[in-house]
């Protein structure tokens, strides 16, 4: 199972009335929250038909993580600096706009990281899981895919696996490929690779299991991050798509996540 293509309207028989608003802690978002609550009310999240998220992509990811597996969609309105997952901010006829939205069902990556002290840490990531060096020394990392060694030694600043939705984030900044939601692919992208210098990464099937083994761990310590969870001094990290958990994100017509991913590939 992979990230579902967002081609269908969100099915709702009538404009939703029970809206829950959440906002990031900025003056702009909090002012917008006050105006929207006065106009539309604000029900508890657990009773909401739709959660309205006010902020940027970072706060949107926090909100999605909190509602993982709950049968409530999230509609973001941009009150931050970055808004790839967000819709334009507009206070007018919000229930009417919601009924016209299209949906994207996203599955996170699951990270299982083992630290040098033997502790095991697990976390989900809707954007990416990335490893990075903790000191001035470059990291040395072995990469296995589905139990088969594919890269005996990558010398680098780091390496990442991204979801299709996250392929336009850190992955793109690291010169990784943008992946459509319907592609059933996961980008595996090096961060400032030193050896092999010309390796640009790989596109893996969405059911692939990627294992990163850290080499020379004491001399070259490495940390691993799954969205908001950071684990220091890892010795191995296993990354795979989590087909069991999901979130639903709503987008205005003509501004679906798939359309934004395509548009991004033609931008300068």
Enumerate the known binding-site residues for NAD(+). Answer: 57-58, 127-128, 157, 165, 168-173
The question of whether 57 is a catalytic residue gets the answer: yes
Q: Rounded distance, CA 254 to CA 260, Å?
A: 9
- Rounded to whole angstroms, the Cα distance separating 86 from 60 reads 8
Q: Which of 4, 57, 69, 233 is catalytic?
A: 57
Going by the annotation, the residues of the binding site are 57-58, 127-128, 157, 165, 168-173
Contact 135, 158 (CB under 8 A): no
Active-site residues, by number, are 57
């Amino acid at each position: 199972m992979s990230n579902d293509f967002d081609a269908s309207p969100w099915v709702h028989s009538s404009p939703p009335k029970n809206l829950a608003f959440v906002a990031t802690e900025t003056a702009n978002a909090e002012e917008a929250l006050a105006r929207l609550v006065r106009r539309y009310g604000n029900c508890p999240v657990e009773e909401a038909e739709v959660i309205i998220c006010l902020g940027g992509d970072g706060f949107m990811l926090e909100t999605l993580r909190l509602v993982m597996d709950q049968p409530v969609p999230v509609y973001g309105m941009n009150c931050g600096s970055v808004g790839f997952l967000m819709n334009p901010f507009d206070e007018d006829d919000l229930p009417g706009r919601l009924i016209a939205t299209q949906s994207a069902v996203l599955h996170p990556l699951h990270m299982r990281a083992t630290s040098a002290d033997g502790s095991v840490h697990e976390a989900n990531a809707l954007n990416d899981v990335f490893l990075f060096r903790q000191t001035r020394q470059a990291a040395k990392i072995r990469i296995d895919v589905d139990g088969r060694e594919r890269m005996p030694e990558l010398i680098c600043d780091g390496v990442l696996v991204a979801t299709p939705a996250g392929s336009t984030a850190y992955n793109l900044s690291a010169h990784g490929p943008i992946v459509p939601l319907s592609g059933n692919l996961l980008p595996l992208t090096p961060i400032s690779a030193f050896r092999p210098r010309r390796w640009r990464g790989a596109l893996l099937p969405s059911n692939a299991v990627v294992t990163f083994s850290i080499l020379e761990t004491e001399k070259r310590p490495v940390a691993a991050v799954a969205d908001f969870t950071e684990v220091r001094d890892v010795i191995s990290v296993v990354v795979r798509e989590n087909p069991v958990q999901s979130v639903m994100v709503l987008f205005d017509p003509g501004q679906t996540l798939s359309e934004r991913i395509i548009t991004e590939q033609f931008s300068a």
